[in-house]
Amino acid sequence: MNELALAFPDTTGVFLFEDHKIARASFLLPDNCRKISTRAWLLFLEGKGWIESAAEVERAAISSGRNFSRLRFPT
């Protein structure tokens, strides 16, 4: 992330995570970088109309053996 921030200061980097322990971890990100959970990213994509249903993607992932965090973030 630091390398991205230095090489492309006008670009926003997205640190996508699924482990809720990372969400609670306190670490410094450059100003042009964001950390976001998989669930929040899916909701963003749904809100933009780029995917039909965040919940359906999550259900399909869980059905395929993916271990989604059960942690929910406030809206």
Alpha-carbon gap, residue 30 to 48, rounded angstroms: 25
Mean pLDDT of the chain: 81
What average pLDDT does the segment 7-24 reach? 77
Q: Is the pTM of this model over 0.85?
A: no
What average pLDDT does the segment 25-53 reach? 86
Alpha-carbon gap, residue 68 to 11, rounded angstroms: 28
Q: Alpha carbon 14 to chain centroid distance?
A: 7
Over 80: is that where the pLDDT of 28 sits? no
